[in-house]
Structure 1
């Protein structure tokens, strides 16, 4: 009798291949658009007396794919404790029987599925009328590494311009790129502005409270993936002008309108209406809604992070782990 498969962070990482994650995340968003997947509107719980916010992400892709729950704890005060500010666990259940199937460490899955979603958005939104070969990264941490790998799955990137407040983080990224992205030139930018003005595709990857990127720097034909801000209504990386100037596509309209400061603040200011954010990534993939209409459009993918991405990636991880004999089986019954 198969029990609950428990996979630690190292075992999860041993299963992950970025091209495969990009494929399943794209399929998951298409399933959401077609009605073959569901993710109920989520609520969050702020833990009294702490900086911790608990974010449950429930989703199902059926009938033969994946279902379950991811619990994310977002704790900004952990930075001072030298602990991760975001931690998560994923519980995968059999979508037909409801039996608990696997418990997975969530960090690596979150890192890979987030970058994979940016790659899917880039595939469908970046300028197809001109080569997009320069990638700009505002932030140089772990998400910068996975975004480099993910974007290279969908575009022939041969140059990266990267900026971070930390020179040590930038140097670590350069070392990683030398080892894992042979042939890609890495240029260190002096500022976020230099990164944005230099790149065809831009990924913002910082947990910023206030905007680091200004819309006045955007140029026609550019594509931006706004990724780093946590799911808090008062955090954003892109200023209001940047949102107004862009054709915005979101991972989930309901989630963005509830949790994304990049969305909520411009709406509260009266600079734009909620209708500006109506297009979801899955609808662009399936052709239900248009993405980029012309070469001069500025497109922006607003990434909050949603449960279907986690469930699709967890399903992939568990299937590979079982084939490889990874993990620990627990008999809960």
Structure 2
């Protein structure tokens, strides 16, 4: 039987699982570093005569006993239709039998696993005395990041900016009321960058919003929001060059991360400058932060192994709670 989990069911299952998701994502990256998981670079299928593209984000894990593929549609034209620019579905198979175990809506999984990866990387790379969290972008991904980073964290305040002032103020109000941390809206990305100890960029920008000239010694950056396209980025070249770069997966970053590929194409960055993976830092195979004044950057493209780890967690939770719909695909 195949378990079908809809977005509303997933949202319910994930409501009280923030730390469990972070633990699952961290374990997945350690498994990748230790050779217990497989993560090929996803092929990008550009649709002819369109700005749309489809990515098949595959992964397999021996400890989890799963192989997964998330089909991600990146369709900028959807915005004019009032539809999400990105949509996805995750197919989950058993590595022993090949049976299709589950089919899950990908939107909620993508959002929470992305925020969880940021939280894991920030704990590994940021200074322990970081007190101000900065958010550039105010959409659902920003809310997910606030929920993943703030509870139990060291932050005394949040500063944020978004293109739509009403959305920015609504996010600041929600953070204060829901998460109990004071939050205020600043006038532009520069003000947020200069005020933040930890900065998350969470926009679908094509052009840089954060510049290296604005950075301060000791900051930690999470570049998260740019779509998986080699010509999209949120940070300028100077910001990347000034930073020690850690990627979620080198092969994926090398294929589709504009934040490192554009500086690389300009000759400002070498491949060795962005080979360090999060799993290597978590397992101690590579250093993370090495000094108080070092600027660190987690370049988060998003990988299928993160989807797999969260799918394993959700399938187990759904079975325990008796939720979801069972379908016999072979009938």
1:260-299 aligned at under 5 Å gives the runs 260-299=257-296
Deviation at 1:154, TM superposition (A): 6.5
Instruction: Provide the TM-score with structure 1 as the length reference.
Output: 0.96
- 8 Å CA contact retained: 2:2, 2:328: yes
Structure 2-normalised TM-score?
A: 0.97
Q: 1:151-197 CA deviation, whole Å, 9 max, x = no partner?
A: 12563222000100101211221232133202x01011101001011
* Regions of 4+ moved over 4 Å: none
**Structure 1 residues 64 and 206, CA, compared in 2 at 3 Å: closer, same or farther?**
closer
Q: 2:187 aligns with which of 172, 186, 190?
A: 190
C-alpha distance in structure 2 between counterparts of 1:229 and 1:266, whole Å: 15
Task: Mark the CA change 1:212 to 1:281 in structure 2 (over 3 Å): closer, same or farther.
Answer: same
> 1:60-139 residue pairs with structure 2 within 5 A?
60-128=60-128, 131-139=129-137
1:144-155 correspondence runs (5 A): 144-152=142-150, 155=153
- The residue aligned with 2:159 is 161
User: Residues of 2 paired with 1:178 and 1:291: CA distance?
Assistant: 31
Q: 1:50 aligns to what? A: 50
Aligned to 2:245: 248
- Give the Å deviation of 1:63: 4.0
Cα deviation 1:233-278 (Å, max 9, x = unaligned):
1100000000000000000111111101111110111112111101
The alignment yields a C-alpha RMSD, in angstroms, of 1.1
User: For 2:64 and 2:234, how far apart are their aligned partners in 1?
Assistant: 38
CA contact (8 A) 2:173 2:183 kept: no
- 1:277-298 Cα distance to aligned partner (Å, 9 max, x none): 0100000000000111111100
SS at match of 1:14: helix
Partner of 2:174: 176
2: CA distance between counterparts of 1:11 and 1:64?
22
Tell me, which stretches of 5 or more residues in structure 1 are unaligned? none
Deviations 1:8-31 (A, max 9, x none): 100011111211111100000000
Query: In the alignment, is the contact (CA less than 8 A) between 1:292 and 1:299 conserved in 2?
Result: yes
SS in 2 for 1:248: strand
Query: Which ranges of structure 2 fall in alignment gaps of 5 or more residues?
Result: none
Q: What is the number of residues matched between the two proteins?
A: 328
Q: Distance in 1 between matches of 2:30 and 2:53?
A: 29
Distance in 1, Cα, partners of 2:290 & 2:239: 18
